[in-house]
Amino acid sequence: MKRQRLVGYVFIAPNLIGMTVFMLVPALFSFYLMFTDWVFASGQPPRFIGLDNFRMMVRDDLFVVSVKNTLLVLIPVPISIMLGFLIAVMLNNRTYFQKTLRAFFFAPYFTSGIAIAFVWMVLFQPTNGPINAFLRSIGISEPPLWFASPDTAMYAVLIMMTAGGIGYNMIIYLAALQELSSEQLEAAKMDGATFGQLLRLIIFPLVSPTTFFLMITGFIGSIKSFGMIYAITQGGPGNSTTVFSIFAYKKAFNFYEMGYASAVSWTMFLIILCITLIQWVGQKKWVHY
Amino acid sequence: MRNRRWMIAGLALLVALPLALAGCGGKGDGNQKEGTTSPGASTANSDPIKLTLWGAVPSENGPQEVVDNWNKQNPDIQVEYVRFVNDDAGNLKLDTALISSQPVDMYVNYDYSLYEKRIKAGNALDLSKFSDYDVEAKMGEGAALWKVDDKYYGLPTQKGLSFVWLNKDMLDAKGLPIPTEWGLDEFRDYAAKLKSDHVWGLAQSDYYFNVPINGSLQKQSLQLTKDDGTSAFDNPLTVRTLQVYSDMMFTDKSLMPHTEQITSKPALDQMFVKGEAAMLFSTNQIFRTTNNIQEFPRTFKVAAAPAPKVNKDQADYINAGGLGDVISINPSTKHQEAAWEFMKWYADEGMLPMAAGGRVPSSKDFPVDEAVALMFKGVEDTYDLDSIKRVMFGDLPLGLSRLDRKTGTEQQAIYDKVFTQKLTPEEGAKELARVHNENLKALSK
């Protein structure tokens, strides 16, 4: 028994060591750093300053902007879940080009996020982009500037993130839909349920654990979103797309303010934790196992 | 129970280790480790000294040839070139390497504030320990701008300034002479006349608005402050610069709107050689593209004009740039003397292969004619050499902004707002000063 346990530990050791060295230790180190004023590569050791970083944070205009923007990037999560669900329902039935369409919708998920970001950058190009060319062709003489304006950059980001989430949600829903028992659906149909009622009252509640899973992971992913936004706007123009992670990144890697950046990162962790706990408590009302 | 204790103890150790390393890793005391080996020491044993030079120029644009030449001539001191990209991520990589004892014997600085930061962190060797090379006598007065606390911590090896690249054929077609001195009014006028359906009158590198703005302030102070130590950004010349650029974008439409450019990320050098931009405001780095006529064929001649002042008759304007490519020695290297030998050779003769990429050596001992010949080798006919030489080897007053990096980065958001017309030029100038003042206050604590 003892030997068996030891063998088990040996098997998980590579992952455990990697996790400890590359995630746990840096996380704990950053927990310590958030109470210091450490500036990377300054030659000065970390100096304990208590909660000063947090005091500075709440007075920092850019932090407030980043909180607002981070809350905004939560919007694509339910929208892409709904769209993913509807597409999954459609592709779960027999349709022409079923496999091709599944691959088409899923493609953005297995493509590099940066590559997708650059595709959106071209699509949303204000002067020569196809989206604005289309808008001009239907009579909109001054189409939005999308990523190039502080007024519209965040909307462009939200559209990009919504589209980016659909494929993954669809695949997960497809798996869930194929697990549904056909008896329940047949019974509902025999009772005269319309397609809309079937969706709303039978199918959607039956896949609610999947919806819950996608909500949790989607919110966490959205709050942490960085790469696609940074690749296009670097948080601009005029800080209009600066979200938490970009704010922390700039503090850490542009200005080397590691203490402050750690405080921002742990604040982000706490917000994610709170949102997840709220969802966890709220699931009792609508998730049916 | 015992297992749990072991696990907790192990975890505590794992946390303590990086903390301890962070504590000792900094060289806050400024003590520089002395080199233990002289250049000749390696000949006593047969192993050659190995030096690593970190620089931002792609190795195929000269650095590899430089180190190959050195390695051939100096079998006892072998130099390896490591490239880092001169952006935030690349500089972070270098700074991490410097504090984590990775092999960095020498590195090139391209930005004063980072150079100063590295000195304060004890990551650049005070060169006054070497008495066999008079930096100012070799490099001229411009070198003194790189002094910190009246000492050199690096060798400025090239003359690098910002200037305007011109498509001479387009200028000729419009009957426009090559400017030898101009202000923003003339600059705007040229761009407006040169633009056409598929050609921007002007393209310029990101945030080049600060060149005329900072150039108008440097005479007063390299920190861009007033006599009382507060920010000098809020002044009529800044307002005027922001206004002219705004007019070029939105009234004349001769310049791609700034935020459209930073979010579309066009390759400006390629726009210029393809004839999609008649003028390009940038630096000598564009030589990499204009000299490469195999990959970027062009039929037009390239000419050059100095960077525009705000007003043509401005007497106190300082051109952005000055001396650059400042090579420093990592105090941790065991081979300080060997690194110093390499640096002297590089500055006085070794950097010749870099000339093809447009780097003008700053040392007076350098055979400049050879460098110029190499710079235009095989492409002489595609340049208006008179104007290029006038700008690159002329006698323009050169400066070096010491604006702190944080202010420079934070000001970018203000430029974004001015050039999306969220702020008026007057409000923009005030905001530039406000951000600068906040950082000045934080730095003085």
* Range 370-409 of B in CB contact (< 8 A) with A: 405-406, 409
For residue A48, what pLDDT is reported?
96
- Model confidence pLDDT, tens digit, residues B287-342: 989 999 999 999 999 999 999 999 999 988 988 777 899 999 999 999 999 999 99
Give the residue, A175 or B3, on which the prediction is more confident: A175
Residues of B in contact with A32 (CB under 8 A): 15, 19
Domains assigned to chain B: 49-160+323-366 (3.40.190.10), 163-320+379-444 (3.40.190.10)
In the predicted structure, residue A73 carries a pLDDT above the cut 90: yes
Residues of B in contact with A44 (CB under 8 A): 26, 28
Beta-carbon pairs below 8 A across chains A and B: 120
Reference B390, options B166, B217, B187; nearest CA is: B166
Minimal Cα–Cα distance from A251 to chain B, Å? 10
Q: How confident is the model at residue A106 (pLDDT cuts 50, 70, 90)?
A: confident
Cβ–Cβ below 8 Å for A236 and B413: yes
Domains assigned to chain A: 50-285 (1.10.3720.10)
Minimal Cα–Cα distance from B91 to chain A, Å? 9
In the predicted structure, residue B97 carries a pLDDT above the cut 60: yes
- Model confidence pLDDT, tens digit, residues A194-251: 999 999 999 999 999 999 999 999 999 999 899 999 999 999 899 999 999 999 999 9
For residue A102, what pLDDT is reported?
84
Computed over every residue of chain A, the mean pLDDT equals 93
| B117 touches A at CB < 8 Å | yes
For residue B3, what pLDDT is reported?
52
For residue B24, what pLDDT is reported?
39
Cα gap B223→B407, rounded to integer Å: 11
Cβ–Cβ below 8 Å for B26 and A45: yes
In the predicted structure, residue B9 carries a pLDDT above the cut 60: no
> Residues A68, B44: contact at Cβ < 8 Å?
no
Cβ–Cβ below 8 Å for A238 and B14: no
Minimal Cα–Cα distance from B161 to chain A, Å? 24
Mean per-residue pLDDT, A181-191: 89
- Model confidence pLDDT, tens digit, residues B188-244: 999 999 999 999 999 998 889 999 999 999 888 889 999 999 999 999 999 999 999
Give the residue, A66 or B8, on which the prediction is more confident: A66
Cα gap A164→B395, rounded to integer Å: 55
Cβ–Cβ below 8 Å for B417 and A232: no
For residue A182, what pLDDT is reported?
85
In the predicted structure, residue B12 carries a pLDDT above the cut 60: no
HEC string for chain B: CHHHHHHHHHHHHHHHHHHHHHHHHCCCCCCCCCCCCCCCHHHHCCCCEEEEEEECCCHHHCHHHHHHHHHHHCCCEEEEEEECCCCHHHHHHHHHHHHCCCCCCEEEECCHHHHHHHHHCCCCCCHHHCCCCCHHHHHCHHHHHHEECCEECCEEEEECCCEEEEEHHHHHHCCCCCCCCCEHHHHHHHHHHHCECCEEEEEECCCCCHHHHHHCCCCCCCCCECCCCCECCCCHHHHHHHHHHHHHHHCCCCECCHHHHHHHCCCHHHHHHCCCEEEEEECHHHHHHHCCCCCCCCCCCEEEEECCECCCCCCCCCECCCEEEEEEECCCCCCHHHHHHHHHHHHHHHCHHHHHHCCEECCCCCCHHHHHHHHCCCCHHHECHHHHHHHHCCCCCECCCCCCHHHHHHHHHHHHHHCCCCCCHHHHHHHHHHHHHHHHHHHHC
Q: In chain B, what's the furthest Cα-to-Cα distance?
A: 90
Select the residue of B23, B117, B417 nearest A238 (Cβ to Cβ).
B417
How would you class B110 by CB atoms within 10 Å of its CB: exposed for 0-12, middle for 13-18, buried for 19 or more?
A: middle
Q: How confident is the model at residue B21 (pLDDT cuts 50, 70, 90)?
A: very low
Please name the amino acid found at residue B18. Answer: P
Residue percentage of chain B with pLDDT more than 70: 90
Q: How confident is the model at residue B32 (pLDDT cuts 50, 70, 90)?
A: very low
Q: Is A154 helix (H, G, I), strand (E, B) or coil?
A: helix
For residue B36, what pLDDT is reported?
32
For residue B127, what pLDDT is reported?
96
Cβ–Cβ below 8 Å for B15 and A32: yes
For residue B50, what pLDDT is reported?
96
Q: Please tell me which residue of chain A has the smallest CA distance to B18.
A: A29
In the predicted structure, residue B2 carries a pLDDT above the cut 60: no
Q: Is A260 helix (H, G, I), strand (E, B) or coil?
A: helix
Which of A178-187, B23-32, B318-327 shows the lowest mean pLDDT across its residues? B23-32
Mean per-residue pLDDT, B181-193: 97
Computed over every residue of chain B, the mean pLDDT equals 88
Cβ–Cβ below 8 Å for A45 and B95: no
In the predicted structure, residue A109 carries a pLDDT above the cut 70: yes
In the predicted structure, residue B13 carries a pLDDT above the cut 50: no
Which of A99-108, A274-283, B88-97, B186-195 shows the lowest mean pLDDT across its residues? A99-108
Cβ–Cβ below 8 Å for B413 and A238: yes
In the predicted structure, residue B435 carries a pLDDT above the cut 60: yes
In the predicted structure, residue B35 carries a pLDDT above the cut 80: no
Q: How confident is the model at residue B365 (pLDDT cuts 50, 70, 90)?
A: confident
For residue B27, what pLDDT is reported?
35
Select the residue of A236, A237, A253 nearest B88 (Cβ to Cβ).
A253
